[in-house]
């Protein structure tokens, strides 16, 4: 089993039925694939933590069909939450808000807050609608990868993580490619917990106030751990071709190298080379698939050119820095 073809409405309905029954279903969102369980079922949610190998105190994002469904999980949604929901939902923005007491506590990893997201992907929306019709108020779904590994952007990536027994709704490749931007609204001022393709600038305009930067007091978020999103190969960042050549001379490389860069690199150094797109959104879309591909090719080191120092690249730069720290 079972890859379910999301072009078939019956397949989406089958996936909704499975979720309602407390089973796990992986599904596409515009960012990455999620590993879903009904958020109001602590036993179903426990299976997600077990499958991922994720510590049970690392909270999951709850996916909802619309803003009204968000109200079910939140103790309150203030003006700022309403503004950001109106501006960016459905879309790649997760909001951390105070959790309604007694609701989805396993999904929230025991925190008194909860992460809520209304995804824009047509398959995810249809799945959430059909699950809601079966009494599922929301779907807890972390990225469908084992803890600490690269997020999946295709159904095949999900299968590579969890094997063929897991039900995967196949909706093709994810159009954004990196995980949602996370903003914490529980701390008086909005705090950016995880950069994504939705930039701080746009959020600040909609919020009508500046975003604070995360500090040590912020709630736990595994996507914010320094070492995360790691390929198997050792990942290194380099500034330019000259810096790459210098680094390789200084530390004679063991094994096979891959280079992933926007600028041309000396051909001789790498067994494999991939060109990084010039635009941040294109780079984000293919980032995880490219790192998986290089991993699958069996290289020992992946040398990646630093993204430009431009806010449009914040999400991609963040993922690469974490992968390099792993
Ligand atoms: O794009 C995404 O956000 C994808 C798709 C599937 O929606 N999901 C995703 O989930 O990236 P995950 O679990 O891999 O990352 C969610 C992040 C984690 O770092 C988690 O700790 C944080 O959100 N998070 C969730 N609820 C939280 C809460 N109440 N307080 C602080 N952080 C929270
Ligand atoms: Mg993740």
CB 173 within 8 A of CB 150: no
Best residue for ligand 1 mutational test, from 39, 61, 175 (most atoms within 8 Å of Cβ): 61
The ligand placed nearest to the CA atom of residue 224 is 1
Question: Ligand 2 centre and the CA of 223: distance in Å?
Answer: 6
Residue 265 has pLDDT above 80, yes or no: no
**pTM (global) more than 0.85:** yes
Question: Which pLDDT band, with edges at 50, 70 and 90, does 228 fall under?
Answer: low
Would you state the pLDDT for residue 75? 98
Question: Which pLDDT band, with edges at 50, 70 and 90, does 221 fall under?
Answer: low
Q: What does the mean pLDDT of the chain come to? A: 93
Listed range (37-41, 184-188, 247-251, 266-270) with the worst mean pLDDT: 266-270
Where are the alpha helices (H) located in 194-310, listed in sequence order? Answer: 200-207, 241-250, 280-296
Question: Ligand 1 centre and the CA of 94: distance in Å?
Answer: 8
Would you state the pLDDT for residue 241? 81
Closest atom of ligand 1 to 34 CA is 6
Pocket lining for ligand 1, CB < 6 angstroms: 29, 31-32, 34, 58-61, 94, 96, 108, 111, 113-115, 117, 141-143, 179-180, 182, 219-224
Question: Which pLDDT band, with edges at 50, 70 and 90, does 225 fall under?
Answer: low
- Inter-CA distances, 101 with 36, 55, 113, 118, 139, Å: 22, 22, 9, 21, 18
Closest atom of ligand 1 to 58 CA is 21
Residue 254 has pLDDT above 70, yes or no: no
Question: Ligand 1 centre and the CA of 222: distance in Å?
Answer: 7
Question: Which pLDDT band, with edges at 50, 70 and 90, does 235 fall under?
Answer: very high
DSSP assignment of 15-76 equals HHHHHHTT--EEE--SSS-EEEEETT-HHHHHHHHHHHT--TTSPPEEE-SSHHHHHHHBS-
Question: Ligand 1 centre and the CA of 179: distance in Å?
Answer: 8
Question: Which pLDDT band, with edges at 50, 70 and 90, does 267 fall under?
Answer: low
């Amino acid at each position: 089993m079972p890859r379910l073809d999301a072009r078939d409405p019956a397949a989406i309905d089958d996936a909704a039925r499975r979720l309602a029954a407390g089973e796990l279903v992986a599904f596409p969102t515009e960012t990455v694939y999620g590993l879903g369980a009904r958020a109001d079922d602590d036993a179903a949610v426990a299976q997600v933590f077990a499958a991922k190998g994720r510590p049970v105190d690392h909270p999951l994002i709850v996916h909802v069909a619309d803003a009204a469904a968000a109200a079910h999980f939140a103790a309150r949604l203030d003006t700022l939450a309403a503004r950001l929901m109106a501006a960016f939902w459905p879309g790649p923005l997760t909001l951390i808000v105070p959790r309604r007491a007694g609701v989805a506590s396993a999904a929230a990893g025991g925190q008194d807050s909860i992460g809520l997201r209304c995804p824009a992907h047509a398959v995810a929306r249809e799945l959430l609608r059909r699950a809601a019709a079966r009494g599922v108020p929301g779907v807890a779904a972390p990225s469908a990868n084992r803890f600490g590994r690269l997020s999946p952007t295709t159904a095949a990536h999900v299968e590579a993580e969890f094997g063929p027994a897991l039900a995967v709704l196949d909706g093709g490749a994810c159009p954004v490619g990196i995980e949602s931007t996370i903003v914490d609204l529980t701390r008086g001022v909005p705090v950016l917990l995880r950069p994504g393709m939705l930039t701080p600038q746009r959020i600040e305009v909609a919020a009508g106030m500046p975003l604070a930067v995360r500090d040590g007091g912020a709630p736990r978020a595994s996507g914010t751990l320094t070492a995360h999103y790691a390929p198997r190969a050792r990942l290194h960042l380099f500034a330019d071709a000259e810096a790459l050549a210098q680094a390789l001379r200084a530390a004679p490389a063991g094994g096979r190298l891959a280079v992933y860069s926007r600028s041309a690199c000396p051909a001789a150094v790498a067994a494999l080379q991939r060109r990084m797109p010039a635009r941040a959104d294109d780079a984000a879309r293919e980032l995880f698939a490219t790192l998986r591909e290089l991993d699958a090719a069996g290289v020992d080191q992946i040398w990646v050119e630093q993204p430009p120092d431009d806010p449009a690249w914040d999400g991609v730069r963040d993922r690469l820095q974490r992968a390099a720290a792993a």
